[in-house]
Structures are given as C-alpha cells and as structure tokens.
Structure 1
Amino acid sequence: MRNLLIAHVTGRQVNESDYHKLRHFFMGLADVSEKVPALVIEHADLASLWQSLKYSCGSLEDRKTFIIDQFSDFLESLEKDTQTSEQVARSHQVLTEALLHDTWNKAIVSLEQKPEVAVEQMRLMVEQLCYQLLRNVKVVPDPMQHNLKALVGLTERSLMLSPGKKYFHVIKELVAGCEETLSAIENFRADRTHLISGKIDSADRDLSSAKVLVSLYGSLCSMLLSAWRVHEMLIEGESSA
C-alpha cells in the first residue's frame, strides 16, 4: 500500500482498485485498523489524497517522504505483532447479525480514542455487507465503480428483484431509499467535517458527529441485513412449495 501511494503521488500510473482492496483489508482487521495511517483513513480514493498532498507537499521528494513517515509506525507495529492466519480469516467472516453488533459495539467503545477510525470501520461494514449480499443474489457490481452510494443503490435494487411476490412489500419497505439514506449520511459527514475545522471545540464536535455516524451506518447495515433475511425466507418458502 505504501509503495502504491508513493507511486501515485510521484506521477506514476497505479491501479485504483488495488488501493481500495488494500484499504478495505487493513481497515477491516480488528487488531490493525487502529494503527492504519491517518492519510489512509481520511482518503477513500486516490484523487482525494492527491488533492491533499499536491499543495501541502510541493515536491515529489516531499510527498514521498511524507508517505514513508506516515507508514513507519504502522509497518513497525505489523512486524512486532504479525497477524496469524486465524486472525486474517476472522477478518473475512460472513457478516451476520452477531458480527454486525459485535463490530458496532467495538466501534462505540473506540469512539472516545479514535472517532474517525470508528466511523470508517462502520462505513466499511456497509461496503462489506453490500458486496456480500450482491454475491448472494448473484449480481456482479462494476469493478471500476468504487462509489459507495452506487453500491448501496445496486444492493437495494437487487434485493427488491425477488423471485416471487410473497414478502416483496416487506423487503421494499426495508430497503427502499437506502441509497438516498446513505447520501444523507455522507452529506452529514461532509458538513460536520467542514464545520469542526478550525474550531476550538472541534474535538467535542467531532466525537458527537462520530457517535451519530456510527449509529447511522450501523442502522443502514441492519436494514439491509434484515431485508436479506426476509429474502431468504421467501426463497425457502418457494423451495418447500
């Protein structure tokens, strides 16, 4: 990941999807996520990172040095605490209600220390769940599309394409508007980030906003997962019939 970012900010061609995969992987590891460099947490795509560094770091060498410094503590912590294959496997567990609530509770506990990490973990859970549900209904998202709103919208539409009429209205009520809901959540996040910048009480405001965002992302996951459970009931009912 470090080498990929260095290549990007020094003008070389990189694969955007590789960054998303690596970012998702490390942010999803429970024992590693809190050590992920701040610039990875703050920048969901390479364009955002470039906009941030092209002015703050004037030369290619300055950008390279900045990224190396950002990753030094992270890499040292990985060397001291190597992840076992069992821990890595846990990071790819199928997202169930139990795992959702476990992650949600952990995010709430970590809010005081690292609110931005807690928020990003819950946002990544929305993304993880969408990919999981799309696999379940055999829908393949566009590999070049990394917009979470589009991913949630595709999941919403795919769940409503039920193989029959039974429970359709239940599923529709659960997921209709999920894309708009995510858009509202992301707009709130952007607005609050803008409002707290430069304020004396920014830490308190940031924590308050993070608490709201963790709950909103968790609630969105819960609705999508509930819709899938109803969808499963529908399929099981038709199979038995």
Structure 2
Amino acid sequence: MNGLEHLENQLDKIEYLQNLLVARATGGDADDGHYQIIRQQILTSPVVSEMMPRWLKTNRNLSQFWEFIKAKYPSYAERRRFIWDAFNPILEFVESGLEHPAKKTIDEVLSNFDSESIHFAWAKALERRVSDPEGAITISRSMLESVCKHILDDKRVSYNSSSIELSELYKLTAKELNLAPEQHTEQVFKQILGGCSGIVNGLGTLRNKLGDAHGQGKLPVKPQARHAELAVNLAGSMALFLISTYSSTKI
C-alpha cells in the first residue's frame, strides 16, 4: 500500500500530480515518494507522455523541481499559473476521452469486420501496450495474420495455416487484392506498396526479436511501451488498409 489507492484513473493521477507540484512550488507539503510514483506511471503512457512538459520529464523528484521553479518565477501566483497552464490542455484531453484519430478509425473498421476475434485482438493489443509491451507486440502481429487469413479464406485461397509466415501471408493477400508492387506500373504505387510489404516484414521481425513468442538468451532485449505503440499502430494501419481494400472489391 503506497497511499495512492484513491487514484482510480488517469485523470485522478494527473490532477494529483498537478496538486503536488503546486504545493511544493508554494511552500506547502508534498509527498516526494508519491510524486515519483505518479510521474513514472504517467510518463509510461505513450499518448499522455507526449503532452507532458519537458520540465516534468527532467525533474525526477520534488527537490529538483523546487530548484527549477524557484529560479524561474519569484512569486507563488506566477508559479501556480505556470503549472496550471502546463497541465490544463492535458487535463482537458483526458477529460474529453479523446483518442488518436487513426486509432478511432481502425477501431470502427475492425469492429464492423466479420470476425469478432480480430476486433478483440486489436482491443487487447491496445490495452497491453504499456502494461505488457511484449504481449502487445505478439497480439498485434497475430491480429494482422488473422486479417490476412480471413480475407484469403473468403476468397478460397489455400495456404498452410500451421507454418506460413506473416510475410508470405501478406504476399498472398496483397496479390489477391491487387496490392503487390509487381502488379502496378506506376513507380509511385510500386514504391508505396513495396513500403507496405516492408512494414509487414518489419512487424514479423520485431515480434521475433522483441515479442514473447520466442525464448531469449542471457541478455534478453526487453521492449518498451514505445516499441509496442509502434507495432500496434503499424499493425492496425495495415489491417485497416487491407480490410478497406477488400471491402471495396465486394461492392
């Protein structure tokens, strides 16, 4: 028990962090242990972390923050206003429940796709990006595999489901959807579609290197939340592209 059990969600934590900073900046009592715990938790959230001010990332404890704030502003009023102005857009963002536009679009498309398991995998990958980066990487790759298999099954294209690699699955799917680079003559399309193939191959490699699908040696490479964020977003974008293309061929 660390005395933070009353903080039930992200909004509570951000508001509490703001209050700790205001208290320290204006001569009040502020728990440095709480500050360090909450600060670390918030900075592991990829979206919110991007919005946090630089000075919060560099001041790892309240003593460091005190040295920073007392040199920056002489009065309590100025310090309060500085902290409130820094936190206000973050609090508004979290209160509104906003999401990255790409995430929302992918979520909508996958939820309307025929296979419930694919949307479930997407939801699990999003959920585990921070708490379990390795699992999120594995799930995102599996989700993309499922999208390819679903499309190939619907088109009655045979493949070895027990041993085929993601890169081969994508190659078959791309060919069926006229997305293979060699099926186009315009250089710009060949380049873009070749890039898509590279992304899929990279996802397979990332999963093999960093995901939890394979055992690792004495010095394992541990993925961070940013690696999982990259893998999940890339897999989601490619799944969206494949499903949108597939759906357009059925109209």
Higher-Rg member (1/2): 2
Using structure 1 for the length normalisation, give the TM-score.
0.43
Using structure 2 for the length normalisation, give the TM-score.
0.41
